[in-house]
Each structure stands twice: as C-alpha cells, then as structure tokens.
Amino acid sequence: ALDVPIPLRQLAGLPADLSPQSVAAHLAAAEAEGLYAEAPEPTLSYTADSTAGNYATTKIDITFTPAAPGEAVVPLHLRMPKGLSVPQSPDMLVLVRARAHEVPIYVLHETMDFKCCCLGQTYSQIIPVCNRGKVALKASLVVSRELHGFVSFSPDMAYVQARDRSGKAGRFDFKMKFEPEEKLLKRCKEFLVEGPTGLMDTIEIPVRVGVPDQTLPVHFNFRVQLTTGLIKFSQEEVDFGVVAVNDSVSVKLGVTNVGELPQRLGFPTLPREVTVQPNTGFLSLLPGEERSVELIFCPFSDIHYNFAVTAVAGSNAPYTVQCKAVGVAPPVEFTCTNFQLRACAPTDRIQQSFFCTNVSKEATSMELLVPRNSGIKLSPLVATLEPGQTGRFQLDFCPPYQPEHLSQMLLEMTGGRSSRMQVKKGEG
C-alpha cells in the first residue's frame, strides 16, 4: 500500500471530439509533448499536486471566482501514475464548465473617491445602490472595524426596488457621512496607498453591502486622501515695544498653509488699536504657500497693552497670536498737526505759524524734518523746550517753479495749437 501522487494540469486545448479514443490520444500527446496551458485560467483555483492515500479517498477542490459575467470551459488533465497497478488506471479528462451571472444588487460606482479631505471636518456623499432583479431586495451598508466611528450611513438598511418594465434598474441612495480624525490613519495602516503627492496619506478600503437574499456580497472601494488643515504662524507672540500715543508701529507676521488644500484666512475681530494689512487681513493660501501680513499697532492711551489677535481659517479653526506693547504719552504737543493752505502760485509764498508745548517733566530737544523738494521751510528746525515751555514755529511754503508742467498745462488748454505765449526757463 502506497500513497499515490495525482497531478492535475490544465490542457492547452480540447480534443477533437470527446470519444474515448480521441480523449486518450489527446491526453497521451499532451503528456509526451507538454501541451499544457502556459497561463492557467485566472478564475479557477485548485491544488495542482494532490496525493491519494492508501485505501483512501481524496477530494480535489476547484474554486471558480469570476470577475465579470460570462462562461468558461476549462479542460484539466488528471494523470495517473504509471506501472503501479495492473491493469493500468487510465488518465482522465476533467471538463470544468462555469457560468457567471450578474448579481441583482450592485453599487453604481465601484470606487467612491472623496478626493482630499481635511482632518476634523465633516463630509458627505451619496452612495447609489441599484437592483437589476425582478423583486425588491433588502440591502444594508456595513461599517468595517477600521472605519467604525468615522463613517456612518443614513439609513443603514433599506429595500431597493426591482427594475421597471423598461428594464431600468431600481435605485436607492444611501447617504455616507465621513468625519476623519488623525487616528484613522493608524487604524487603517494596512489600507494605505501612495497619494497624488507621493506620500502614504491615502486610504483605499473596501466597504461591504450586505444582501440577505443574495449569496455573494457586494463591495465598493472607499478612497480618500487625508490632510491637515493647520495654519502655521512664524511667531506665537508679538512684542510691539514702546509706542507713543497716536503713533503706529508695524510687525510682519509669516503665515504658512501646511496642508494639501487651499485655505482662506481672516482676522474678523480685532482690538481697535490693531489693523492688519493687506486686504484688511483676509487672504487665500495655496497648499504649502507662505505669505506675510502686517500687524499695525496704534495706541490710544499711555498704558501697558496685553491682548490677543485671533485669526480664523476656512475650516473654522481659530488661531491666536499673543501681543504686548507699552503705550507712552508723547513729550510734546502741537497746536496743529494738519495744515490746509490756500492756493498759491509758483514762486509765491505762504506763511503759517504753530506752537509746540513740552508736556513732560524733563527738558526735551527736538528736530523737525522737512521733505526734500517740497517747497516747505520750517524755522527753527532744532529747538529745546523746558518742562511746560511753549515754542513758536513758522512754516513757509513756496511752490517751486516748474516750466515743463506749465507748458503742458498750456498745451492742454489750447488743444495742442501753437500759442504766442512762450514759457522760457528762468522767467518769473
């Protein structure tokens, strides 16, 4: 009594007919010349080499797993060992016939791609489930262990109506709600694939649709790329230093979008002493983009300031930047800081006086700076005022003579025609 090996091989083709003589000749030629399939049928799986025990029965399981509707006929050669028995057991031709039909319940889209989603946000999408059968069937969407707590369906069970008389499949729309969190990546680490950015930040996991009256379950792939919605600031605390009352100082603040989605950022509520530029603090950031905003602080009182500036991103996430400053009263006060002068011809002169008072308790020296080529003259430019002392300053304005501008004005007034009036440089 011996254990007998029984190999099972797929033939390259069928015999001319299924008569015993033709089958025997075909199997003998296949064994002698190796006429077996180089690429076995992918929908069939079986044990290629089995062993039959002495005085025992051996079963060879053949599994058919179709990927699409259709029919398959696969010839298999079951070879018997030679010279172990008298009479010799003949080889056998095993014809495997399989037919695949479409299941009644199916999902309209094989892959539900949520594209790129931000952690901490809520997303929803419609999952259409169809029924091509003749009767209504119950279908339920099952949340896997990995997605539990992050994915929910509404409703989770429903009856999908049968196809109508025209053959159009019945349909029921389930609503899928997705609330991703950072720990989802760890829980689904076995289903991570490479995303568009080259990082392993994309989840592709099958979701099962259970149908009690259908033998085969239905699956669809749930695919999503996860990214953070974090906005990063160049500094968490801004110190404006010592600033005089009604004066202003600005500090640049870098803002970076570290996520893979564009985001908007704004400063909706600000203290009255603070303004943000440009665009009053509202800006858009592309993925990975870094931009700068300017925080401008103008104190109204000589006190210590300690406040927070809050920015809100498009994901409704607040970001706080702590700010501090010291407002101080200016040592001097001017009777007028805005002069409205009357019209003045070139080379004419206008005079205006104003006063400056030292309101501090110490002597203060000051210097007045005049813009160049402005036609403005101040006197005196340098002065020292004792505590409580008031000094008088005089402003002289003499517009500079610019004959080029005057010639252009005359041409515009005459419509480009020549004029007898000629403006020469140096004439008054």
Burial class, 20, CB count within 10 angstroms (exposed 0-12 / middle 13-18 / buried 19+): exposed
> Kind of pairing, strands 263-266 and 70-78?
unpaired
255-268 pLDDT, tens digit per residue, is 999 988 999 999 98
- Give the rounded distance of the alpha carbon of 372 from its chain centre: 52
Mean pLDDT of the 282-286 span: 91
Q: For residues 311 and 295, is the Cβ–Cβ distance under 8 A?
A: no
| pLDDT band of 423, cuts 50, 70, 90 | very low
| pLDDT band of 1, cuts 50, 70, 90 | low
Q: For residues 319 and 293, is the Cβ–Cβ distance under 8 A?
A: no
In angstroms, the CA 230 to CA 119 distance is 9
pLDDT higher than threshold 60 for residue 425: no
Superfamily (CATH H level) for 235-328 = Immunoglobulins (2.60.40.10)
Comparison of pLDDT for 53 and 308, the residue scoring more: 308
Comparison of pLDDT for 305 and 19, the residue scoring more: 305
pLDDT higher than threshold 90 for residue 51: no
Alpha helices in 172-280 (DSSP H): 183-187
> Kind of pairing, strands 304-313 and 290-297?
unpaired
Comparison of pLDDT for 40 and 401, the residue scoring more: 40
Q: Report the share of the chain in percent with pLDDT over 90.
A: 34
Supply the pLDDT for residue 424.
Answer: 43
Supply the pLDDT for residue 88.
Answer: 74
Phi-psi region of 364 (alpha: psi -120 to 50; beta: other; left: phi over 0): beta
Q: Which amino acid is at 57?
A: T
State how far the alpha carbon of 114 is from the alpha carbons of 166, 168, 174, 182, in Å.
33, 27, 15, 16
Supply the pLDDT for residue 420.
Answer: 46
Strand order in the sheet with 49-52: 49-52, 4-10, 70-78, 92-100
Supply the pLDDT for residue 307.
Answer: 92
Domain 105-227 and domain 332-428 have a common topology? yes
Mean pLDDT of the 328-338 span: 86
pLDDT higher than threshold 70 for residue 403: no
- CA trace torsion 16, 19, 23, 26 (10° rounding): -40
Domain assignments of the chain as residue spans, ordered by start: 4-100, 105-227, 235-328, 332-428
Looking at residue 34, the DSSP 8-state letter turns out to be T
Superfamily (CATH H level) for 105-227 = Immunoglobulins (2.60.40.10)
3-state secondary structure of 40: coil
Supply the pLDDT for residue 417.
Answer: 56
Residue 57 CB partners (closer than 8 Å, separation 6+):
none
| Helix, strand, coil percentages for the chain (3-state, nearest 5) | 10, 45, 45
pLDDT higher than threshold 70 for residue 218: yes
Q: For residues 138 and 213, is the Cβ–Cβ distance under 8 A?
A: yes
| pLDDT band of 427, cuts 50, 70, 90 | very low
- CA trace torsion 266, 271, 277, 281 (10° rounding): 0
Look up tokens 């509707």; give the residue.
Answer: 69
| pLDDT band of 76, cuts 50, 70, 90 | confident
pLDDT higher than threshold 90 for residue 173: yes
In angstroms, the CA 45 to CA 61 distance is 8
Mean pLDDT of the 361-385 span: 89
Lowest mean pLDDT among 157-161, 271-275, 335-339, 349-353: 335-339
Q: Looking at the domain covering 332-428, what would its CATH class be? A: mainly beta
pLDDT higher than threshold 70 for residue 365: yes
Supply the pLDDT for residue 239.
Answer: 93
